[in-house]
Structure 1
Amino acid sequence: MSLSELTKPWEAMSYGFLDASAKRELRRKMIKAVAVPGCQMPYASREVPMARGWGTGGLQVSLTLVNPETTVKVIDQGADDSVNAASIRRFIARVAGAPVTMDTLQADLIQSRHRIPEEILSEDQILVLQVPNPEPLRPVQPNMSIARQMHADADYGRMWLQLYEQIVRSGRVMQGASYPSLVHGRHIMTPSPIPRWDVPKLHMAKHLTILSAGREKRIYAVPPYTRVEPLVFSDVPYRVEDHGGLTCHRSGTKGFFMNEIPQDGGTSTYEVSDSEWGVKAIRQRDGEGVIKGETWYKNGEMAQ
């Protein structure tokens, strides 16, 4: 077998790679997801030039929403320059002719894996979150048919029992990323594997958030100004990661979510997870004119 046998001449493709039928279906399902906040909507996940589990769901949503005037930003665990983020960003720019940016304030569409930017998003911005496992009931009910019936009945007693058992055994809730959250007082959702630090950013946010799982073929949404409340007992308050006192060794910024970087001597240094926020802090320190937006957190405490 030769390389020429595996290739064929270039052919024109649909704008934004996805065909018109796929886009129409995704738009319909996104409208339904917005109409019923937090409720999972099934859709026929299409094949894209990326392995499932690496952001195919988020990419399909982005390709459906993008147009030549949409400025796109792609994040991978807070970083704009990772292989995954750079590859998705280049692909969207190539098939849609859309401008790209690393500045959160300039982006119209932000696709992210496992993080929400530190700067507050505005009403005209859309956040697309990649989701590997959209079902919050899976740890307590592996049968998906029964789990969906539990969602329909708002039967979430097993979720509360799981949290109670964690408190009894460990003295605190051990759930880290993907913290189960109640949306609009009705549906419990998994807010993608974002850290607990980011979950409060979804509560009454100005922007639209769309969460898509390509491998699981599920899509759900958090519309603007919608309640998103982490499941907590009234006498055991919700706690985010204790990063308020940590300082980024590169930018000197403090009070934001940090990445821990182990050192040879057994110690650790820290670097702000939102790479573009760190770049802005460095440029501002060097005397450059930088526009920095308001942030969700101030000195490690939620500002809103």
Structure 2
Amino acid sequence: MSLKTLTKPWAATSYGFLDASAKREMRRKILKAIAVPGCQMPYASREVPMARGWGTGGLQVTLTLVNPRSVVKVIDQGADDGVNAASIRRFISRVSQAEETWDTLAASIVQSRHRIPEETMTKDQILVLQVPNPEPLRGVEPNISIARQMHADADYGKLWLTLYEQLVKAGRIMQGAAYPSLVNGRHVMTPSPIPRWDVPKLNMARHLTILSAGREKRLFAVPPHTRVEPLVFSDRPYLVEDHARLVCERSGIAGYFMNEIPQDDGSSTFEVSDSNLGIKAIRASEGAPAEIGETWYRNGKFAQ
């Protein structure tokens, strides 16, 4: 045996950009996060060629999981063609030779900022959510050491009090995106800034969800077939955004989460947030081949 046989030809970067040590650490922490659903795992967030706060946590998870056989979809607020989504998708493809796609059904890894696709994900897919703030207790307990102790004791009374105060003051729970949710009956997590519409998609889902905050150096996970229950009072049911009657101006489909587009005359039009679902609907209406998969919602009601 010689030293040459133990080395590899020089390359500018490791496969998938991250070095082997970083990937080993990420994989260990991902396995721990899967073993304890909803529990935050610290990791040494590495430098990647984008600024903190623009999806570095999700990018590191994706770079750890990707391989040449992967098919990667990246969305930003539901759109595949956003600058951030397109840049991340292109970077992942260039450093891993993975195939790019806009189609949720074709993807093996879906990395997302603030949305979960409308088409139902399967057991063969992984959802990676970018998280700006992984700590659900930060709004009620800024001291991170005390917050860690509260998680250890399952002491979430302050969160319940905050929701109660919203009910008293406004008559309803005002919490919108990042609605605090109980995972597997034990840990409360913040499910990324996804809208309330998307939180039920995590409950007993068939796919693995990994949530990662690069700036905060924390990741956590929701394994397949795991209960995710939004914090609600028994006499005040959990309500999603009232988008059931809204119709997408471009595609004509209804019953899905919509983006509101203000007009010059003060009115508003609406466009389906999941851009690729809208593209498929337009192609189908024109007679072109377009496979629209099973969706989480039907006619504005959760159907799973």
TM-score range for the pair, normalised by the shorter chain length: over 0.9
Partner of 1:212: 212
Runs of 4+ in 1 over 6 A off after TM superposition: none
For residues 292 and 267 of structure 2, what CA distance do their matches in structure 1 show? 31
For residues 245 and 180 of structure 2, what CA distance do their matches in structure 1 show? 26
Partner of 1:270: 270
Partner of 1:200: 200
Partner of 1:51: 51
Partner of 2:71: 71
Aligned length in residues: 295
Partner of 1:171: 171
Correspondences of 1:85-164 after superposition (within 5 Å): 85-164=85-164
Q: TM-score, normalising length from structure 1?
A: 0.96
Correspondence 1:290 to 2:251: no
Query: How far 1:289 moved relative to its partner?
Result: 1.5
Query: How far 1:11 moved relative to its partner?
Result: 5.4
What percent identity do the matched residue pairs reach? 77
* Cα-Cα RMSD: 0.7
For residues 54 and 99 of structure 2, what CA distance do their matches in structure 1 show? 22
- Secondary structure of the residue aligned to 1:197 is helix
Q: Provide, for residues 244-291 of structure 1, a one-character-per-residue CA deviation record: whole Å limited to 9, x for no partner.
A: 000000000000000000000000000000000000000000001111
Give structure 1 stretches of 5+ with no counterpart. Answer: 1-9
Q: Provide, for residues 104-129 of structure 1, a one-character-per-residue CA deviation record: whole Å limited to 9, x for no partner.
A: 00000000000000000000000000
Partner of 1:185: 185
Query: How far 1:12 moved relative to its partner?
Result: 1.8
Q: Provide, for residues 193-224 of structure 1, a one-character-per-residue CA deviation record: whole Å limited to 9, x for no partner.
A: 00000000000000000000000000000000
Partner of 2:229: 229
Q: Provide, for residues 56-102 of structure 1, a one-character-per-residue CA deviation record: whole Å limited to 9, x for no partner.
A: 00000000000000000000000000000000000000000100100
Correspondence 1:238 to 2:233: no
Query: How far 1:303 moved relative to its partner?
Result: 0.3
- Secondary structure of the residue aligned to 1:162 is helix
- Secondary structure of the residue aligned to 2:90 is helix
For residues 30 and 186 of structure 2, what CA distance do their matches in structure 1 show? 18
